[in-house]
Structure 1
């Protein structure tokens, strides 16, 4: 699927990090705070990236690389590579075309895309434009009837999996957004949530408490809600936000079809470990029983290789493609994905990995 020639990619953009400056120039202070920022002191946001830099790869030479490829099959769906677009809310903050530009790019470079519940374009409109498998990212809302209706809408529109975000029953403390005075501008909203009943405060929070014991957490989903969700759909269900082996085991016991190691991009609880550091524990618990993906900190194709070596089947990228979206629309998103895939192929070749099945723990260099 050809991309429109929206604008020429500047020659100085040679890596994902180069898009950040161009995106910053095109975004308001408020939009930048929302899209680029994290929780509190942003320690986890920074460590998601730094932890990849601390890992080293082991090169192998003279391997037979004939027939090499990056193909992946998940839930009966075929992908050319293991790099997916993460669910990012309110993409019209970055570009007027929002999610429609991202899905155009995903189709052009054959990347899977996860669509946010809080997308700024209707989920049906995105699906109608898609030429690549789509998964729908879901929050279980306090209004359970509305949540069930969202699931039915996603099924009817042709989404091929549900991704339940479980690590954000409340929003993180986002000081950068507070300092910038972030608020959604006119014309940008969570269009898929129109008509949802507001949460009714059935009980008063205890004296001196802002949240605990209040109506929001009283209505927050629990493990018991997974059985309810499972009964609503035959689609595969993945849990996004798993950071411990214990939670992974509980998710498997609950019949979940896949897991995503995620700390919400450092936007939820500051002080959590980097996702690449949490991955080995989760992978050890999963033991390849279900697909396992990871997000957080991916900026190079070699990062993708490191995640696969430590047990992931695929990765999600968020901020990098949103920066590409802000800088150059659909062309920028496609360019980000192409650079990542190209770098992954180079890293695989130089570590002697012909295909994804060839990547294993031995691909990571360990000091003697």
Structure 2
């Protein structure tokens, strides 16, 4: 059992079962949830040898975010359900490990406090803000201003949630609202709400590229598009000025009939053709998974659930363990593949495991 799975079991025993199901569960019959992890088992790496790679450099430059390695913290909701310090602990851990943190619209700690916690650890800590576009553009703009004022260095727009995914575990448990004292704090005091009031997190099938264009018109921050599986949509994102594309199926929490994220990565990397960075999240559980994703065209990967496992198991220290484990295991794999830099992992080094297709 890997260190991450040990943390997972500790977290499962620690967290209220209803909240654990919220984190662990997926949409429908959870086929995509399971396939995100299984998909990495379908790939193998062909190492190169005698390449003189005595020194390693796994740093990566992402939009507004130089990072110590190609593993970042993907946006996930409601960290205080896992630990009282919530997103503050996650932010401190990410900053200490030199990882980019993507904090979200559904964070239980306001974005300003999240960034402040990260900057207490490292003055240059990079925090991005995950944003769900609101049908009322003044609400979207207010969220953007909060992220800018807080010091976020990029925006990540989630585009794969026109409606809420049907998640049987949450329906079975009756989990529809946060407990008293918890809220999606970034949705407080927005235009149209009473003082101190909360606005619902938006999900609307009416959102279009016009709304994305309107967002780009009100901010100078780089904007990445998250939730892309169709190659032509990746090309459209670049055409509309996206600073990056995140290949993601929402961790299997939205549509249960889509492919595993990593299976979509090569075609999207080909469509983007190096014009902007391509990132991936979904199913990354070991350093070898990171290496496979980079070889298939990703500049970096995001991890979501493992961060929450670490947070629930041991707070800030648990999150640091997750990020350090993935970074160090990735660096080890890179060396075993004859690489000194992330770019040394190339598409021709990836093969299918026998019998997995």
TM-score, normalised to structure 2, is 0.92
Cα distance, 1:366 vs structure 2: 4.8
Determine the C-alpha separation between the residues in 2 that align with 1:256 and 1:105: 28
Instruction: State the Cα RMSD in Å.
Output: 1.7
Which of the residues 273, 276, 287 maps onto 2:273? 287
Cα distance, 1:114 vs structure 2: 0.2
Determine the C-alpha separation between the residues in 2 that align with 1:198 and 1:46: 40
Which of the residues 182, 188, 194 maps onto 2:182? 188
Cα distance, 1:216 vs structure 2: 6.7
Determine the C-alpha separation between the residues in 2 that align with 1:367 and 1:28: 38
Determine the C-alpha separation between the residues in 2 that align with 1:289 and 1:181: 44
In the other structure, the counterpart of 1:308 is 294
Map residues 221-260 of structure 1 onto 2, 5 A cutoff.
221-260=207-246
In the other structure, the counterpart of 1:3 is none
Q: Confirm whether residue 349 of structure 1 aligns to residue 301 of structure 2.
A: no
Q: Is the 8 A contact 2:25 2:169 kept in 1?
A: yes
* C-alpha distance 346-225 of structure 1, shift in aligned 2 (>3 A): same
133-142 or 70-79, which deviates more: 70-79
In the other structure, the counterpart of 1:324 is 310
Q: Confirm whether residue 117 of structure 1 aligns to residue 105 of structure 2.
A: yes
In the other structure, the counterpart of 1:81 is 69
- Deviation digits for residues 198-232 of structure 1 (CA, Å, limit 9, x no counterpart): 89xxxxxxxxxxxxxxx9746x3111111100101
Q: Is the 8 A contact 1:143 1:196 kept in 2?
A: no
* C-alpha distance 217-161 of structure 1, shift in aligned 2 (>3 A): closer
186-195 or 297-306, which deviates more: 186-195
190-199 or 157-166, which deviates more: 190-199
Determine the C-alpha separation between the residues in 1 that align with 2:192 and 2:110: 20
> Counterpart of 1:315 in 2: which secondary structure?
strand
Q: Is the 8 A contact 2:64 2:126 kept in 1?
A: no
Determine the C-alpha separation between the residues in 2 that align with 1:53 and 1:112: 26
Determine the C-alpha separation between the residues in 1 that align with 2:349 and 2:332: 14
Cα distance, 1:195 vs structure 2: 3.1
In the other structure, the counterpart of 1:105 is 93
Q: Confirm whether residue 51 of structure 1 aligns to residue 39 of structure 2.
A: yes
Q: Confirm whether residue 30 of structure 1 aligns to residue 18 of structure 2.
A: yes
Which of the residues 129, 135, 149 maps onto 1:156? 149
Q: Is the 8 A contact 2:140 2:215 kept in 1?
A: no
Gaps of at least 5 residues in structure 2 are: 194-201
* C-alpha distance 326-367 of structure 1, shift in aligned 2 (>3 A): closer
Cα distance, 1:62 vs structure 2: 2.4
In the other structure, the counterpart of 1:68 is 56
> Counterpart of 1:277 in 2: which secondary structure?
helix
TM-score, normalised to structure 1, is 0.89
In the other structure, the counterpart of 1:333 is 319
- Deviation digits for residues 71-113 of structure 1 (CA, Å, limit 9, x no counterpart): 1112253211010001111100100000000001001111100
Gaps of at least 5 residues in structure 1 are: 1-12, 200-214
Q: Confirm whether residue 143 of structure 1 aligns to residue 136 of structure 2.
A: yes
Q: Which structure would you say has the larger Rg?
A: 1
- Number of aligned residues: 340
In the other structure, the counterpart of 1:206 is none
Determine the C-alpha separation between the residues in 2 that align with 1:269 and 1:197: 31
In the other structure, the counterpart of 1:263 is 249
Which of the residues 299, 314, 317 maps onto 2:285? 299
Cα distance, 1:254 vs structure 2: 0.9
* C-alpha distance 291-69 of structure 1, shift in aligned 2 (>3 A): same
In the other structure, the counterpart of 2:27 is 39
In the other structure, the counterpart of 2:347 is 361
Cα distance, 1:252 vs structure 2: 1.3
Cα distance, 1:257 vs structure 2: 1.1
